[in-house]
Structure 1
């Protein structure tokens, strides 16, 4: 089969299209063989390409955590899926197991969800990692409740644009930081109540004014660095802040401590890295729930760029250029 191999750690040029062995008929009782139609491109892909995967002794590697495709064959013990089913998932691509920059992959049925029927394979492949991240960060780490006020950083980005929608589905009020008027218009269409143009406005004061001077109940940081600790004063006393980045060593914690903030760390890759079967099953259940929202027209996935598999290196360059709206997807064969 055709696949994009990461031949070494380095620049996007290390991503090379090659012919590799097809995974073939599933060997596991509960495995599916999936003909991939599209693969999502995420920041974790570019980070692993630059620094090396979590398993540096297993090079070359196939990157790509997000995938969507058609079930080609099933193991003898498979119960939920049949040949021909359309599926989407976040699995592999970290170095231990094959990722989705390829024509085929195998995956345990417990970690798979049915693709939303109303969207394309490209949109489905763009969704899993960001949906799970946003769901866990807002609903599980941040314990979001109806009527609460939320600040979401980088609302036009991959995680941000689905976070806005999930927060609104919970009945929350949402303000979000964006870099341009075009992005402000975009996030308004998603339901954001108050876009903050952070290049022109102090987002801390804006969030305080919007929340009557108290601060938001929950802040969701998808940017990291200084943005994380600068957000502390924008959160109410005894409020929550969740980040998807590792706090910097220079983080100034004083405001968080004085305000008794509850700090949440969100890494949706943990179940895969730790091989936690029940947690991976739970993430598949999250995707099943999100599929219902998508098919009901209550949740949309924004795909900004669709590129052929052969242009994986270009996709990485685009993502690393920054300031993306929505997601980048690699198309594999015909949809």
Structure 2
């Protein structure tokens, strides 16, 4: 990943409007003397191939693109000698991935790949506010003696990601060939992935299918929203769910993904009225079902203390091995906090617990 690509991703993922405080230079380019006048969003998209024109337009709208020291809109036409800069409201940070001695739960490993069971609370990849202590730093340490593995080479490493507060299985490619082959399987939806989630509410059916485009919520850019299938907003997404266990006010479900969009299960479940238990970003920290008694409120608070993150675990992962072409299937146990949370609901339903 280039530094320019990384900077533009910061704009998309973290920033809505320009800060009133100091801005810091993240990129600078001078327009060639032979350049014909052209819109700055088109010019930058041609010179930053990893950044979309839409992303650049959003950066300009937020006041982060300057020409000769003055913010410009995306329809500004660059001229020979113009100095174009990308300014952000945080200092430039070296995103070089360094090995860090962090324990890993390696489920499987060979010369081509690794399967890791990630704990909840571990960020997968460095980003704003989390430049150290991430899963890729831990992988870099684990593979530090492998000469062919460069943690800063995008042609190797993580094939997919899960959220910081989601636990469960991930696959890592050790070679470019393995990442290309595995990446194609994820892109073509040829992998098999299932999650278990505790969600608010009961279901009338035992199984169901959720289809709806996933894109950024225009009211909260830290959250994803669901848009009509076929819409020009967001990306198509399909989630299948099956009820595993009912607790009256909450339900344990299995979710199988056809697609792998950001926050897909969390956004889809909120969309159908069943936010994940303890999912603060999607409203799951509120008491959405149940009684109004003090004892029930105390019980929910105790549940939240047991599992204070979205109750979501990437339980199974299946793919075809990139070189042996054998089907590889992995299953992981639920994280301890989710197990304890589910057991607490079982006891509640059976009338064996007051709080």
TM-score, scaled to structure 2: 0.27
Bigger Rg over Cα: 2
Point out which structure has higher relative CO (alpha carbons under 8 A, 6+ apart).
1
Q: If the length of structure 1 is used for normalisation, what is the TM-score?
A: 0.28
